[in-house]
């Protein structure tokens, strides 16, 4: 079955199993990343596509003020429109027993008869609504889980200011809310925000919309152009207060999943490339060494008539066995990793069933990419073997030529020990091998920087959001705007150190074709509680006229300071205003627009009113404060900073820990593998030299010093490079997280650098120690014999 | 030239002016076990004295190199007695052997075994750094007539020059015993003689017990005693009444 040349291959591999395994492991790290990210992309994409298809997720969405139901059929007749689903969508306030903070949510209508045309629901548990039944509601899964609600439980809602009790019929999912989150929120807070579905009649009557609709979704006919349909829909709905149709590309839930897929795509390319490059270097080193040892064997094979091709294939097979092992190990690592991440995604994304699906093409890709890397790696070495003339190869390799190392020529030679000289001259003689070792160690150091930088960045956001921007302890919202005098009442609550009032309102902000829905925050011009800051963390005073908006929002809108923005207020008389953009706030989460409170009052055509307040409290009096607060009937929501902070930390901690563990393992494997490989090759190449040192009276430890000095020098070069590389990785990866929901600032700490340095150093030391143990088995007698 | 032949161990009376360095009795060395066992040394008795020049002769596989390795502390015997002064080499620890090699033994190999990344001077200085009372590296290299090539790397030296660096390296620590395994084996005649002269000079000037393995019987003329090996045993020992200078050796 096996040719004798293959037998030689197997025995060579067995002899070099440690090194072959080290290469395979480094390769496996890259391939695990590849398998993991490709499979996750496949899982997310295919699950999403199937979910969208089965539940008829719409292509275009539009919110409007109010249009008679007959208008929906006119939309359906527009060219390019395939299906239409119109209904009511309304904000509600919730009263959840046991929850300190009042929660809010979104109610959608379901047709009184028959099934929804588009965006059909998936029933997770319980039952559908009884036809023409009243007082029943379907609840989105994320909210239900977070509040431990199930079918049969009761829930109280304020519909248009009227409190009503509902019974939960079923727990559902919707393709519109794969990511179930308050618009503009950085992370889902499923405890205080939920999605609900009720019969059309009930919700339409509650909001005085019976016979009309205020939300419409449609699907495109095959071949229809999204942009054309959006323009036509906007044209038609303009009369009815249409707020601008948008496609899936602007759909908040869809964007979140797409963002995740985009991050995975970057991961699926970047990291495998880096790991496989190192593996290619390592395989080159191992094979070069093997070929040097087997010069004579190659010559004999050639002398006996083996063709160059056969010899090349023989050594390529060596690389391919390593590739095969690496691919298998990579798949074995990538699959469980992907499964863990799928579980994590389930916390964020609501699919009927998000299962891990192995992307078979990922494995093919992994094998192909690894083969490619290995082929590049061995190319030079194998070519040398092929080019070797038989007669030449019969002679041993010419003796190594050394010269004083560069550092010695600088004139400090005097102070250098002999061990040091041996080490630096060796490094200089084999610059490529040294460079690869340095590259590998630098890489290991670099990838360790990323997770900690990520962690520090999130910590910075929390600190920024809750220490720099929000300096209050608690903020509350009122059900209805109230006169500013209410503020004086708040001051009298127990434990209040200071209080500031605000007026917030929902609005759609538009510039050119781009628009976003968000909260306009009317605040005290130079308030101490909710501050608006620029890049340098200097507080920006709110202007008398004009808007400050998040820098990210300006970027999305394509607006610059001085541009006129169109602001459509989504409450009361719904005025449409034009305001100049006067400044950019460097906030890190969500999208916001800020305006001086009284200026907002004027814009809204209302008196000196507020709809919320923030408090700095004396910590000891906090329970009293909360107790008194519950007695104030007009309070619609309460945000306690500490509990927001805790829930944020809890959700991010799990994912960051997983990522950190992953990177830690990969970095350790690379550091260990690279050092092991280098030390093994040094040891093998210089066995004779090292044995001679032992013979002339050096102890094992002293001989080990020669090898260790070399590794230490390489390490000293690699570590700063690695820190630099890591800085680059962190900048790139963290820079990618620049989305509407969150913008991670780049944070690099001395602690982070120290940790990376420490881990790589320890891995290197252990790896070197493993190799150095073999020094005690050096064949002293063999050193006296003829050179290889 | 050979004046005396005896088949038993050399006795103290023949070397009354010299101090005994090695005592070897019933020394055996067996590699492998069972049927595969090779008896490299099958019971060797030998005494070696300070300042002596010993030539070991014998066919390949007769046990010369194995004995040299035991004496040099590179390997331990399977059985028998092997003493260097008060040190029991047969039962010494790895650490003892390292110190023994470091302080007392100089090695010269057929293939020089220089450290390729160190210059001639540095190759010698490497050893003088760890030795107790060394000769300066430069002096040692002067002794082998290499004072002019101190800063050359091995790759820049001829075979004979490399071997002389190896000798300088071996003697710089002022060893009590200099062990040379085929020191001229890889050299041509002329170069070989230069190397032998260097070895001879060291033996004479430093009174170093010098043991040389060779296939070349004519080198026996340089020795105080010539020990012939066959089948892992001392076959015979000849004592030369007069040593011939290296320059007169002709092969």
Say how far apart CA B57 and CA B63 lie, in whole Å. Answer: 10
Interchain contact, A422 vs B117, CB within 8 Å: yes
Check residue A203 and give its pLDDT. Answer: 92
* pLDDT on residue B10: 43
Give A 594-613 residues with CB within 8 A of chain B: none
Strands A576-585 and A474-483: unpaired
**What share of chain A has pLDDT > 90, as a percent?**
28
- What number of CA atoms fall less than 13 Å from residue A377's CA on the CB side? 32
B residues 96..125 contacting A (CB < 8 A):
98-99, 101-103, 105-107, 109-111, 113-119, 122, 125
A316-332 pLDDT per residue, tens: 888 889 989 999 999 89
CA A174 – CA A726 distance, rounded (Å): 41
DSSP-based three-state secondary structure for A194: strand
For residue A394, the model assigns a pLDDT of 55
- Rounded CA separation B4/B236 (Å): 10
A399 touches chain B (CB under 8 A): yes
Q: How confident is the model at residue A406 (pLDDT cuts 50, 70, 90)?
A: low
d(CA A111, CA A119): 12
Q: Which residues of B touch A777 (CB under 8 A)?
A: none
The whole-angstrom separation of Cα B218 and Cα B228 is 13
End-to-end CA distance of chain B: 16
DSSP state of B246: G
Average pLDDT over residues A567-589: 85
Least Cα distance to B179 among B105, B237, B236, B235 occurs for B105
Say yes or no for a CB contact (<8 Å) between B118 and A422: yes
CA distances from A357 to A366, A751, B103 (A): 16, 38, 69
ipTM of the complex: 0.74
Residue A400's pLDDT is: 64
CB contact under 8 A, A695 and B74: yes
- Amino acid A591: pLDDT: 81
* A139-A142-A146-A147 Cα dihedral, nearest 10 degrees: 0
Q: What is the 3-state secondary structure (H, E, C) of A60-98?
A: EEEEEEEEEHHHHHHHHHCCCEEEEEEECEEEEEEECCC
Going by C-beta distance under 8 Å and a sequence separation of 6 or more, which residues neighbour residue A561? A554, A581, A582, A583, A584
Please give the full DSSP string across A516-575, using - where no structure is assigned: EEEEEEEE-TT-SSB--B-TT-PBPPPPSSSEEEEHHHHHHHT--TTPEEEEEE-STT--
Domains of chain B, by residue range, sit at 51-69+103-241
Contacts of B103 in chain A (CB under 8 A): 697
> Residue B89 — very low, low, confident or very high, per pLDDT cuts 50/70/90?
very high
For residue A409, list chain B residues with Cβ-Cβ distance below 8 A.
Answer: none
Residues 6+ apart with CB under 8 A from A77: none
Q: Considering only CB atoms, which chain B residues are within 8 Å of A787?
A: 111
| pLDDT bucket at A559, cuts 50 / 70 / 90 | very high
Contact check, Cβ <8 Å, A425/B101: no
Q: Please indicate whether, in this complex, the C-beta atoms of B154 and A692 are within 8 angstroms of each other.
A: no
For the stretch B72-75, contacts whose Cβ atoms lie closer than 8 Å and that sit 24 or more positions apart, written own/partner, are B72/A695, B72/B101, B72/B105, B72/B107, B72/B177, B72/B179, B73/B97, B73/B100, B73/B101, B73/B105, B74/A695, B74/A780, B74/A781, B74/A784, B74/B101, B75/A780, B75/A781, B75/B29
Say whether B101 and A695 touch across the interface (CB within 8 A). Answer: yes
pLDDT of residue B12: 42
Q: Are A105 and A94 in contact (CB under 8 A)?
A: yes
Question: Rounded to an integer, what distance in angstroms lies between the CA atom of residue A586 and that of residue A568?
Answer: 23
Q: What are phi and psi of B178, to 5 degrees?
A: -115, 120
CA distance A403 to B152: 9
* pLDDT of amino acid A311: 81
Q: Could you tell me if B64 lies within 8 Å of chain A, comparing CB atoms? A: no
Query: Following CA atoms A299, A303, A305, A310 in sequence, which dihedral angle do they give, to the nearest 10 degrees?
Result: 0
User: Hey, is B108 helix, strand or coil?
Assistant: strand
Residue numbers in A near B106 (CB within 8 A): 696
User: Which residues are within 8 A (CB) of A669 and not within 5 positions of it... i.e. 6 or more apart?
Assistant: A25, A26, A28, A29
Q: Give the closest-approach CA distance of B9 to chain A in angstroms.
A: 27
Q: Is the pLDDT of residue A101 over 80?
A: no
Which of B115, B116, B130 lies at the smallest CB-CB distance from A697?
B130
**Set of chain A residues whose Cβ sits within 8 Å of the Cβ of B115:** 422, 689, 692-693
Contacts of A618 (CB under 8 A, 6+ apart): A495, A496, A497
Provide the 10 A C-beta neighbour count for residue A607: 11
Strands (E), chain B: 2-6, 20-31, 38-49, 53-57, 79-84, 87-88, 105-108, 177-181, 209-213, 225-230, 233-240
What is the reported pLDDT for A409? 64
Q: Does A699 lie at the interface with B, CB-CB under 8 angstroms?
A: yes
In angstroms, the CA A616 to CA A496 distance is 6
Shortest CA distance from B180: residue in chain A: A784
Q: Do A418 and B125 touch (CB under 8 A)?
A: yes
Check pLDDT > 50 for residue A788: no
Q: Give the model's pLDDT for residue A187.
A: 62
Residue B1 banded pLDDT, cuts 50, 70, 90: very low
Whether residue A698 lies within 8 A of chain B, CB to CB, comes out as yes
What pLDDT was estimated at residue A246? 87
Rounded to an integer, the average pLDDT of A117-136 is 90
CATH of domain A496-617: 2.40.10
Contact, A174 vs A165, CB < 8 A?
Answer: no
Instruction: Decide if A196 contacts A106 (C-beta within 8 A).
Output: yes
| DSSP bridge pairs for B233 | B230
Asked if residues B195 and B167 have their Cβ atoms less than 8 Å apart, the reply is yes
Cα(first)–Cα(last) distance of chain A, in Å? 32
DSSP for B188-242, please give it. Answer: -HHHHHHHHHHHHHHHHHH--EEEEE-S-GGGGGG-SEEEEEETTEEEEEEEESS
Give tens-digit pLDDT for A709-721.
888 899 999 999 9
User: Closest residue of B to A398, CA-based?
Assistant: B155
Q: Tell me the pLDDT tens digit for each residue of A730-774.
A: 888 788 777 776 788 888 999 999 999 998 899 888 888 888 887
Closest CA to B138 of B152, B124, B127: B124
Q: How far, in Å, CA of A453 to CA of A747, rounded?
A: 6
Q: What sign for the dihedral angle of Cα A46, A51, A54, A57?
A: negative
Checking if the pLDDT of A99 tops 70, the result is no
For residue range A445-490, what is the model confidence (pLDDT) as tens digits? 988 888 888 888 888 888 887 888 888 888 887 877 888 888 888 8
**Directed axis angle between helix A641-685 and helix A750-772, to 10°?**
30
Phi, psi of B83 (to 5 degrees): -120, 135
Over residues A602-622, the pLDDT tens digits come to: 988 888 999 889 999 998 888
pLDDT tens per residue across span B209-236 = 999 998 888 888 899 999 999 999 999 9
State residue B7's pLDDT score.
43
List alpha helices for A84-157, DSSP H.
Answer: 141-146
Question: A–B: how many Cβ contacts below 8 A?
Answer: 94
pLDDT of residue A609: 92
Predicted confidence band of residue B4 (pLDDT cuts 50, 70, 90): very low
Give domain limits for chain A: 89-207, 430-469+641-788, 496-617
Instruction: Single out the residue of A242, A241, A259 nearest to residue A250, CA to CA.
Output: A259
Q: How confident is the model at residue A225 (pLDDT cuts 50, 70, 90)?
A: very high
Alpha carbon B49 to chain centroid, angstroms: 13
For residue B170, the chain A residues in CB contact (below 8 A) are 696
pLDDT of A329-341, one tens digit each? 998 988 998 898 8
Alpha-carbon torsion (A40, A42, A46, A49), positive or negative: positive
Quickly list DSSP for A610-661: EEEEEEEE-GGGHHHHHHHHHT-TTEEEEEEHHHHHHHHHHHHHHHHHHHHH
Quick one: which of B75, B106, B119, B86 has its CA closest to B210? B106
What are the strands of the beta sheet with A60-68, ordered from one edge?
A: A81-87, A212-220, A60-68, A246-247
Mean local confidence (pLDDT), A575-590: 88
Q: Count the Cβ atoms, other than its own, within 10 Å of residue A163.
A: 10
Q: Residue A497: CA atoms inside 13 Å, Cβ hemisphere, count?
A: 13
**3-state DSSP helix/strand/coil percent for chain B, to nearest 5?**
35, 30, 35
pLDDT for the residue numbered A636? 65
**pLDDT, position A252:** 84
What gap in Å lies between CA B197 and CA B245, rounded to an integer? Answer: 8
CA distance A382 to A363: 27
Asked if the model's pLDDT at residue B13 lies above 70, the reply is no
Beta strand A136-140 with A162-173: parallel, antiparallel or unpaired?
parallel
Q: How much is the average pLDDT of A360-378? A: 84
A694 touches chain B (CB under 8 A): yes
How much is the pLDDT for A493?
A: 87
Range name among A381-390, A556-565, A590-599, A729-738 with the lowest pLDDT average: A381-390
pLDDT digits (tens, 9 = 90+) for A233-260: 989 998 898 877 889 988 888 988 888 8
Class of domain B51-69+103-241: alpha beta
């Amino acid at each position: 079955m096996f040719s004798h040349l293959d037998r030689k291959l197997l025995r060579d591999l067995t002899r070099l199993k440690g090194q072959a395994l080290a290469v395979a492991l480094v390769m496996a790290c890259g391939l695990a990343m590849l398998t993991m990210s490709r499979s996750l992309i496949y899982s997310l994409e295919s699950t999403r596509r199937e979910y969208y298809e089965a539940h008829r997720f719409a292509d275009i969405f539009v919110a409007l003020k109010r249009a008679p139901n007959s208008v929906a059929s006119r939309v359906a007749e527009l060219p390019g429109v395939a299906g239409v689903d119109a209904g009511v969508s309304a904000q509600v306030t919730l009263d959840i027993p046991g929850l300190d903070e009042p929660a809010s949510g979104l109610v959608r209508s379901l047709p009184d008869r028959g099934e929804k045309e588009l965006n059909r629901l998936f029933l997770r548990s319980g039952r559908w609504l009884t036809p023409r039944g009243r007082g029943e509601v379907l609840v989105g899964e994320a909210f239900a889980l977070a509040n431990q609600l199930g079918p049969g439980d009761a829930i109280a809602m304020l519909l248009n200011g009227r409190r009503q009790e509902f019974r939960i019929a079923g727990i559902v999912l919707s393709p519109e809310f794969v990511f179930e989150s308050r618009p503009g929120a950085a992370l889902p807070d499923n405890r205080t925000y939920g999605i609900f579905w009720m019969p059309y009649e009930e919700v339409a009557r509650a909001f005085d919309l019976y016979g009309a609709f205020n939300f419409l979704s449609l699907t495109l006919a095959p071949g229809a152009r999204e942009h054309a349909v959006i323009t036509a829909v906007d044209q038609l709905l303009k009369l009815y207060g249409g707020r601008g149709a948008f496609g899936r590309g602007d759909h908040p839930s869809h964007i979140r999943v797409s963002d995740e897929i985009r991050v995975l795509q970057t991961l699926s390319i970047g990291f495998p490339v880096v790991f496989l490059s190192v593996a290619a270097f390592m395989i080159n080193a191992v094979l070069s060494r093997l070929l040097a040892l087997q010069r004579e064997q190659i010559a004999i094979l050639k002398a006996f008539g083996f063709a160059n091709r056969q010899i090349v294939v023989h050594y390529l097979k060596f690389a391919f066995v390593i590739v095969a092992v690496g691919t298998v190990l990579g798949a074995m690592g990538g699959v469980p990793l992907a499964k863990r991440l799928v579980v994590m995604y389930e916390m964020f994304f609501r699919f009927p069933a998000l299962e891990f699906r192995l992307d078979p093409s990922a494995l093919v890709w992994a094998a192909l990419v690894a083969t490619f890397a290995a082929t590049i790696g061995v190319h030079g070495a194998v070519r040398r073997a092929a080019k070797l003339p038989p007669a030449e190869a019969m002679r041993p390799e010419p003796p190594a030529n050394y010269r004083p190392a560069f550092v010695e020529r600088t004139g400090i030679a005097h102070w250098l020990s002999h061990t040091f000289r041996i080490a630096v001259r060796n490094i200089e003689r084999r610059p490529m091998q040294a460079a690869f070792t340095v590259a590998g160690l630098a890489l290991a150091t670099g990838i360790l920087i990323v997770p900690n930088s990520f962690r520090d960045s999130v910590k910075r956001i929390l600190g920024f959001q809750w220490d720099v921007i929000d300096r209050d302890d608690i903020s509350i919202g009122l059900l209805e705007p109230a006169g500013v005098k209410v503020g004086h009442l708040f001051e009298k609550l127990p434990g209040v150190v200071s209080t500031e009032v605000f007026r917030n309102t929902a609005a759609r902000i538009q510039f050119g074709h781009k628009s976003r829905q968000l909260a306009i925050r009317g605040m005290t011009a130079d308030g101490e509680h909710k501050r608006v800051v620029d890049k340098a963390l200097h507080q920006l005073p709110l202007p008398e006229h004009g808007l400050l908006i998040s820098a990210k929002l300006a970027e999305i809108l394509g607006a610059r300071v001085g541009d006129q923005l169109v602001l459509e207020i989504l409450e009361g008389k719904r005025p449409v205003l034009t305001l100049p953009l006067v400044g950019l706030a460097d906030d890190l989460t969500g999208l916001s627009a800020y305006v001086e409170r009284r200026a907002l009052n004027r814009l809204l055509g209302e008196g000196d009113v507020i709809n919320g307040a923030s408090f700095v409290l004396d910590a000891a009096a906090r329970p009293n404060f909360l107790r008194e607060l519950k007695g104030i009937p007009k309070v619609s929501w309460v945000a306690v900073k500490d509990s927001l902070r805790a829930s944020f930390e809890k959700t991010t901690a799990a994912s960051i820990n997983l990522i950190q563990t992953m990177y830690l393992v990969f970095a350790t494997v690379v550091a260990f593998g690279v050092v092991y490989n280098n030390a093994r090759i040094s040891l093998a190449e210089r066995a004779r030299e090292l044995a001679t040192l032992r013979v002339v009276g050096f102890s094992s430890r002293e001989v080990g010093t020669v090898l260790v000095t070399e590794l230490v020098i390489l390490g000293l070069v690699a570590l700063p490079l690695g820190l630099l590389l890591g800085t680059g990785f962190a900048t790139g990866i963290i820079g990618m997280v620049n989305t509407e929901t969150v913008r991670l600032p780049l944070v690099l700490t001395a602690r982070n650098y120290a940790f990376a340095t420490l881990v790589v150093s320890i891995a290197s030391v252990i790896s070197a120690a493993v190799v150095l143990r073999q020094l005690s088995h050096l064949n002293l007698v063999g050193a006296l014999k003829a050179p290889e | 030239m050979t004046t005396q032949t005896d088949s038993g161990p050399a006795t103290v009376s023949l070397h009354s002016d010299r101090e005994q360095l090695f005592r070897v009795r019933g020394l055996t060395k067996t590699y492998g076990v069972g049927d595969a066992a090779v008896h490299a040394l099958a019971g060797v008795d030998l005494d070696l004295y300070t300042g002596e020049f010993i030539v070991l002769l014998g066919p390949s596989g007769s046990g010369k190199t194995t004995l040299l390795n035991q004496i040099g502390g590179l390997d331990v015997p399977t059985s028998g007695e092997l003493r260097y002064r008060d040190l029991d080499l047969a039962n010494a620890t790895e650490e003892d052997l390292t110190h023994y090699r470091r302080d007392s033994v100089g090695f010269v190999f057929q293939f020089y075994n220089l450290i390729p990344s160190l210059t001639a001077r540095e190759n010698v200085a490497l050893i003088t750094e760890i030795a107790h009372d060394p000769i300066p590296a430069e002096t040692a290299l002067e002794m082998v007539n290499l004072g002019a090539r101190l800063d050359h790397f091995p790759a820049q030296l001829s075979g004979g020059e490399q071997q002389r660096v190896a000798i300088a390296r071996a003697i710089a620590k002022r060893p009590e015993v200099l062990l040379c395994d085929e020191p001229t084996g890889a050299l041509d005649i002329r170069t070989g003689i230069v190397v032998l002269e260097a070895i001879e000079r060291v033996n004479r000037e430093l009174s170093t017990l010098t043991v040389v393995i060779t296939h070349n019987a004519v080198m026996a003329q340089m020795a105080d005693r010539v020990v012939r090996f066959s089948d892992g045993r001392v076959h015979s020992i000849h004592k030369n009444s007069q040593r011939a200078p290296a320059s007169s050796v002709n092969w």
